[in-house]
Structure 1
């Protein structure tokens, strides 16, 4: 009697386990689940590519700066160029404000003379 109960229980457990596994697999293979999985995979791949591209860009910039320094040393152009002194403009001063003559006032209305 104990043997039969053991095997019956084992069979039920195996059936439940197999049914659960099959149902999970069926849910994973629905179009919606496949689309979600593909989207997640695409996002992960995009992030990985972005990280690599950023790292590559930093490497290129660093190597470019290093090469520019090497070329500058070889050509002797690393020194900062000397800029000319800034120009100084003086403000025009009116030494005698009483000599100021106002410009003549003319009417520019073309219809006034006619």
Structure 2
């Protein structure tokens, strides 16, 4: 008798446990539950992307400030200037083409009458 009661209660408990598990799983698979789960996952992904974008923007801002400091030093913007003295000439940031006639020593830049680039001239 005791053996039958034990197995009966064990079976009832296993049935209740299995029924509960199946009902929970069925509730998770309803369209409303799936939509809520997808929305939660999308919100979490959005927060992660936002955090990474903020970190990236801060890194870019730090790099930009560092580069501005380097450029300011290269151009002499941060050096103190004496009031009675002219500032030192700035360094050229771009490389100029010094082989053009404008930069040839002792010459003036003149156009050649044979190769006039003025389109309004009569030819």
**TM-score of the superposition, structure 2-length normalised?**
0.61
Corresponding residue number in structure 2 for 1:64: 64
Distance 2:79 2:58 in 1: 25
2:11 corresponds to 1:20: no
Residues 36-83 of structure 1, C-alpha deviation per residue, up to 9 Å, x if partnerless? Answer: 000011011101110110111011101110111012112212359xxx
**TM-score of the superposition, structure 1-length normalised?**
0.66
Number of equivalent positions: 81
Structure number with bigger Rg? 1
The gaps in structure 1 that reach 5 residues or longer are 81-114
Structure with greater proportional helix content: 1
Q: How does 1:11-50 map to 2 (within 5 A)?
A: 11-50=11-50
Corresponding residue number in structure 1 for 2:85: none
Corresponding residue number in structure 2 for 1:86: none
Corresponding residue number in structure 1 for 2:117: none
Point out 4+ residue stretches in structure 1 off by more than 4 angstroms: none
Corresponding residue number in structure 2 for 1:54: 54
Distance 2:79 2:26 in 1: 71
Asked which structure has the greater RCO (Cα within 8 Å, sep 6+), the reply is 2
Distance 1:9 1:34 in 2: 35
